[in-house]
Structure 1
Amino acid sequence: MTHTTELDFTGLYTAHRLPLVRMVVLLVDDIGTAEDVVQEAFAALHQNRYRLRDPDAALGYLRTAAVNNARSVLRKRQTARRHLRLARQEFAEPADSELLLTAAHQQVLAAVRQLPPRQREVLALRYWANLSETEIAEALSISRGAVKSNASRGMDKLESILGDVR
């Protein structure tokens, strides 16, 4: 099949790498891993770019790949912790990373980290990546109803954790 529109891979990378990293860092809790996860998503898209029928679908592909890569990282991390009993400090962020955030941001991030993974994913995609319910459902391979219920439950839980921080 001949494509009438070429994929502008460089433009896609330039415009969306950083927003994707910001989204993924909320899922995997550290920037280095988030950058690796997003880089893997871009590498997979580049490798499969000729199979992509609609260049406009590339961003959706990247989001889905990034979320799936993040899930894989978290599964591997959980397995390593369970089987190797790694010390918690090996996975901690650098000591000065929290200094870069305001106290309110620190409280919000700590609260987000307490959410179940699905709620965290939905809220990260909604509020940090500014995706619609339909785009979130596509990226996570869930229904729009599941997006709505996870967003609602996640916001309720954040509200109960944070109280009147706002």
Structure 2
Amino acid sequence: MNSEIIHAPPGSPGAEGSADIVVTELFRAHRLALVRLAFLLVGDQESAEDVVQDTFAAVFRRWSKLSDRGEVLPYLRKAVVNGCRMVLRRRAIIGRFRGHREIPFWSAEAAALLGETRRQVFLAVRALPRRQREALVLRFYLDLSEAEIAQVMGVSRGTVKSTTSRALKVLATQLQEER
């Protein structure tokens, strides 16, 4: 994708470009990475795709109201993380009334693609508390800096550091026990 579209200076064609063109380019360039981010947070492909689609639809609807169009990608990331939080909250509420049910997200195809070690790591990450899982996914999957993670999660850099540290300790312990 042409980076001038995302980071165009005010008054240039990219900054004030039509929503359908700019959002379409953003979608083409970042949809897959955002779906992967959502998948790691919610654990199933359908919900991940729904969250990302809803996020892009919201950006499209609100395009004329966006004050800083140069910050659309960080906004998209934050909106995806917030959308995943809503999905998980909804599942928790439904689970209280129906009883918890494991969501089947391992298709034969997906299981064949992931090696056993990667599957164990994935399941260990999924078992982490929400905030720790978000911090690790944003850090090691999207390779965001502490400042960027803090912005996406809406917390301080110190909280990002401590949360990431605690999550790594829990993962190390859990994965050592499985050996």
- Among 5, 29, 44, the residue aligned to 2:43: 29
By how many angstroms is 1:85 displaced? 2.5
**Counterpart amino acid of residue 6 in structure 1:** E
Q: Does 1:55 align with 2:101?
A: no
Does residue 23 of structure 2 align to residue 9 of structure 1? yes
2:175 partner amino acid: L
CA deviations over 1:66-97 (Å, ceiling 9, x no partner): 011100000001100111226x25x2224413
Distance 1:107 1:19 in 2: 22
Of 135, 140, 143, the residue aligned with 1:130 is 143
Query: What's the RMSD between the two structures over aligned residues?
Result: 1.7
Distance 1:6 1:14 in 2: 19
State the alpha-carbon separation in 2 of the partners of residues 124 and 73 from structure 1: 17
CA distance in 2, matches of 1:52, 1:135: 19
Q: 5+ unaligned residues in a row in structure 1: which ranges?
A: none
Q: Which one has the largest radius of gyration?
A: 2
Give the Å deviation of 1:10.
1.8
Is the counterpart of residue 92 in structure 1 residue 104 in structure 2? yes
Q: Displacement, 1:164?
A: 9.1
* Aligned residues of 1:122 and 1:147 also touching (Cα < 8 A): yes
1:156 aligns with 2:169: yes
- Structure with more relative contact order (C-alpha pairs < 8 Å, separation 6 or more): 1
AA aligned opposite 2:150: A
The letter for the 2-side match of 1:55 is: R
The letter of the residue matching 2:134 is E
In structure 2, give the amino acid aligned to 1:37. Answer: V
- Measured after TM superposition, the shift of residue 143 of structure 1 is 0.7
The DSSP-based 3-state class of the residue aligned with 1:163 is helix
**Residue 96 of structure 2 corresponds to residue 79 of structure 1:** no
Which stretches of structure 1, 4 residues or more, deviate above 6 A after TM superposition?
none
TM-score (norm 1): 0.90
Match of 2:33 in 1: 19
Which letter does structure 2 place at the counterpart of 1:56?
G
Correspondence for 1:106: 119
Percent same amino acid among aligned pairs?
44
Aligned residues: 161
CA contact (8 A) 1:20 1:129 kept: no
Instruction: Name the residue aligned to 1:46.
Output: 60
Answer with 40-49 or 3-12: which moved more: 3-12
Quote how far apart the aligned CAs of 1:100 are: 2.1
| 1:142 match: secondary structure | coil
Letter in 2 for 1:92: P
Unaligned runs of 5+ in 2: 1-9
